[in-house]
Structure 1
C-alpha cells in the first residue's frame, strides 16, 4: 500500500512540474526596449506617465502573452560607431530586453552586422562601465509589421492649400530639408535634380526644421509622418498644414529580437495578428495622436536608395 502511495506521489510531482514551470514563465517579465524620446510613438518623461503608441501596444502584447511588462528605456545617439541597427542589437545581445519596439523593417536594418561588437546606447539605469564597454552582437529577427511609416509633405503658411499629388508638385516652392536625411536624398535626386535650386539645407540637431517652416521662411518640407504628428500635438495652433501626400516608398515598423529567440517572435506575431483583427492597434494610434496606417507589402523594404534614385 505504501509503495502504491509512493508511486502516485511521484506521478503527481511529475505532472505538476510542467505547471510550475509554466507559472514561472508567466511571471517572467516581457522586456521591451523603447526609445524615450520619439513622440507620439514612445515618450518617457521624469515625473510623468509613460505615453505613446508603442507603450500602449507593448502593454497589450504583454497582456496577450500573460506576462508582466518591463520597459527598458533608451536614448538613441548618432556617431560613426552607432546606428539604430547596432543600438537595437547591442541592447538585445546584452539582455537588456527581448524585443525592441518601433523598429524600421528594411533589408539593410536586418542584415548580419559587419561589426562584431558595438557600444550600448544610453539607457535607464546605465552605469559608467555600461557606457564604456562593447557588446558582442547577435543576429536580428523581425516580428511581423504592425504599422506603416511613410514620409509626408508638410506645408508652411504661405503654401496652405497647395495640392500635392507627387514630388513634382513641389516645383516653384521654397523647400527646406535636413542635410543627409532620407528626405534630402529624395528631393535632391528627383527628376535628375530638378528641385535642387529651390532647396535649403539645415543641420540636423542644430537647426529647427519645423520652426523655420512655421515662421514662413520656407514653403514645404518632406518629413516622417510620426514626427509631423508629434509637432501638431505639441503645437495645436500650428500654421503648418498636412498636404495629405505620402511618398510611395515607406517602411513598416515592428518588433525585432534575436534570431535565437524564435519562439518569442512567433508568440508575438500571434498576439499582433489578434490585436490587429480586433482593431485595437489602430485604436492605440488614435489614442496616441498618431496617424495610423496599416502595414503594407512588402513587409520588409528592400534597397531604399536604389528605389529613390530610379524614380
Structure 2
C-alpha cells in the first residue's frame, strides 16, 4: 500500500511539474508582419495590430509569456495561406497562426505532403530552400467576422449600394484571382464584366488607383479598407456600408495533435469576448470589429458565389 501511495504521489508530482513547466513556456503565435490593422511588425517600431493585442491577452490568461513569430505572406496569385500556415506549424515555428480564415477549404488535408516555408523572421538560407512535411490543421473558435465590402471612389461616393447590382454603370477594378473577382465576374450571369478592369495583386495599387479616381468602386476585405483609411486619413475613398453576405470568420489554426491547448485558447477567447475585450482591441487597432457569425466555419466559398 505504501509503495502504491508513493507511486501515486510521484505521478502527481511529475504531472504538476510538467504542467508548471509548460505554463512557463511561451505561447508562440505566428502573425503576418504586414497585415494592418490586424498585425504589423516594422523594424524600429513597436509591434501593433488587433491580433497582437489579442494574442497578448490570451497569453496572459494562460499565464504564459507571448512569443510572436513574424512571417511574410506574399500577396499574389500563386500564394497559398493554407500551405504557408501548415508549414510554419509543422516546422514548430509556432503553436498557432493568427488571423486565419476559417473555411472548409482552408482546413482540409493538403493535397501535397510537403511545402516550403514562407519567409519568416530569423530564417536562414537553408530554411528558404527546404520543404516541410505537412500535418493536419485544427481551428480554434472564431474571434472576428471578416466580410468583403464595396468601397467607392471619389466620383461615386454618393452612390447608394444595397446589392452588387447597384454597381451597374460604374467603372470597377478588382484584383485577379480574388474572391471579389469571382463575385463581380459571376454576378447575374456576367452582367458587370464589361465594366471590370483586372489588376495584378502585389504589383498594382488597387486602393491607390481608386483613391486617384481612376476607378469608381471595388470589392475587398473590410480590414484592407480599414488599413488604407488609417494610413491615409485624407483619403477620398469611402465605405459604402454594404457587406457581401458571404463572409468568413477568422480565428487561430494549430495542429490537430494538441487539442488541450486549443481548448485552453477557446476558453480564453470566450472569456475575453464575454467581457467585451475583443471588440475593444479592434477599436484600439482601427479595425471595424464585427463579432463572429454562424456558421463558424464557412462552407464551399466558390460554390456559394457561383450559385448567387
**TM norm structure 2:** 0.95
How many pairs were matched up?
Answer: 307
Task: Give the one of 13, 26, 41 matched to 2:23.
Answer: 26
Equivalent in the alignment of 2:129: 132
Task: Give the one of 287, 292, 300 matched to 1:295.
Answer: 292
> Quick one: structure 1 residues 110 and 173, their matched pair in 2 at CA, closer, same or farther if it must change by over 3 Å?
same
Task: Give the one of 160, 163, 176 matched to 2:160.
Answer: 163
Kept in 2, the 8 Å contact 1:81–1:118? The answer is: no
User: Secondary structure in 1 aligned to 2:141?
Assistant: coil
Which one has the largest radius of gyration? 1
Kept in 1, the 8 Å contact 2:76–2:202? The answer is: no
The 2-side partners of 1:169 and 1:157 are apart by 16
Equivalent in the alignment of 1:265: 262
Equivalent in the alignment of 1:253: 250
Q: CA deviation at 1:21?
A: 2.6
Kept in 2, the 8 Å contact 1:183–1:222? The answer is: yes
Kept in 2, the 8 Å contact 1:82–1:119? The answer is: no
1:59-78 to structure 2, matched below 5 A, reads: 59-77=56-74
**Structure 1: 5+ residue stretches without partners:** none
Q: CA deviation at 1:241?
A: 0.6
Q: CA deviation at 1:303?
A: 0.8
Equivalent in the alignment of 2:195: 198
The 2-side partners of 1:185 and 1:11 are apart by 61
> Quick one: structure 1 residues 8 and 24, their matched pair in 2 at CA, closer, same or farther if it must change by over 3 Å?
same
Kept in 1, the 8 Å contact 2:58–2:268? The answer is: yes
1:36 aligns with 2:27: no
User: Secondary structure in 1 aligned to 2:258?
Assistant: helix
The alignment's C-alpha RMSD in Å is 1.9
The 1-side partners of 2:77 and 2:255 are apart by 23
The 1-side partners of 2:5 and 2:178 are apart by 68
The 2-side partners of 1:79 and 1:221 are apart by 18
